[in-house]
Structure 1
């Protein structure tokens, strides 16, 4: 069996309040990504975590901790 993903941990998390509506679709997208399939056509960029979004959130958190 070939799995497209490198041996890493995968998580679909961070839902709160109205974000729970995206949980099922995020789980499906994560499963597709683990299998090495593309999800570009149907998985919205607004809920996709990119390196740029992650760094921005981490920088904002660090700034808030410094205050």
Structure 2
């Protein structure tokens, strides 16, 4: 089980999850990792934990934190 933005099961998945947890957008992640936008979306749908880190990043972008 993944928690707190821990890496995914492979070296191709882990950076995608870590970048998302750091607050990068899907297009930014795709540019860095050379994945397609759809591939990044699929990885994040599968592996990105819905936790406090992700929630804080979203609230920070909204100017609420």
Question: If the length of structure 2 is used for normalisation, what is the TM-score?
Answer: 0.35
- Higher RCO (CA < 8 A, seq sep 6+): 2
Question: If the length of structure 1 is used for normalisation, what is the TM-score?
Answer: 0.34
